[in-house]
């Protein structure tokens, strides 16, 4: 197996790895579902977060996010508010309790990012450039595949 083939092999392995890790600790820590913590994270970081924006960022449907936010509201982890000039859109804020979870999550997240950065110090600038170029290229390929998929879907809907 040459280097290119091995790259593909490891790349696919990474894609296939379940999400179980990285953030899952917090599910255990606070008895919350991964998606709920993730949602809190988005509400904490997006300006005037609403259902639609969160759904887009989390690659989930508005329906799913709507349900999660409802749950978070019940548990008083978030608050909702509206703007005087718009009666349709509903925005979310973290409550004090929500912020606690936000920061615990952030701590773990930052720690994970740092471990990646530490690992990357072993590479030269040229190597880093190559890695980055590769990752960007893979994203472009996925975008293209996504576009093809959308076309197929559109045809079906006709």
Partner DNA sequence: TCTACATTGTTTCCTTGGAAACAATGAGAG
Partner DNA sequence: CTCTCATTGTTTCCAAGGAAACAATGTAGA
* Least gap, CB of 106 to its own copies (angstroms): 15
Residue 95 CB, nearest approach to DNA (Å): 17
Interface positions with DNA (CB under 7 A): 33-35, 50-53, 59-64, 66-70, 85-91
Tell me the C-alpha distance between 131 and 23, whole Å.
Answer: 24
Q: Which does 132 bind (CB under 5 to 8 A by kind): its own copies, DNA, none?
A: its own copies
String marking each residue 10-49 x if it binds its own copies according to CB under 8 A: xx-xxxxxxxxxx-xx--x---------------------
Q: Residue 152, interface with its own copies (CB under 8 A)?
A: yes
Nearest to 97 by CA among 117, 77, 83, 72: 77
Nearer to DNA among residue 91 and residue 102 (C-beta): 91
Enumerate residues 6+ apart whose C-beta is below 8 A from 54.
39, 42, 43, 46, 65, 69, 92
Give the separation between CA 158 and CA 155, rounded to whole angstroms. 5
């Amino acid at each position: 197996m040459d280097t290119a083939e091995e790259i593909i092999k490891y790349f696919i392995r990474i894609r296939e790895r379940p999400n179980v890790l990285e953030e899952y600790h917090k599910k255990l820590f606070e008895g919350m579902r991964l998606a709920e913590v993730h949602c809190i994270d988005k509400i904490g970081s997006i300006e005037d977060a609403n259902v639609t924006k969160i759904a887009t960022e989390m690659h989930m449907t508005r329906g799913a996010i709507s349900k999660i936010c409802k749950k978070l509201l019940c548990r008083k982890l978030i608050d909702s508010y509206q703007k005087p000039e718009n009666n349709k859109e509903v925005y979310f804020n973290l409550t004090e309790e929500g912020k606690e979870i936000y920061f615990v999550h952030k701590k773990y997240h930052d720690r994970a990012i740092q471990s990646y950065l530490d690992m990357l110090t072993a590479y030269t600038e040229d190597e880093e450039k190559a890695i980055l170029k590769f990752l960007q290229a893979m994203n472009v390929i996925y975008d293209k595949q996504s576009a093809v998929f959308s076309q197929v879907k559109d045809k079906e809907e006709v």
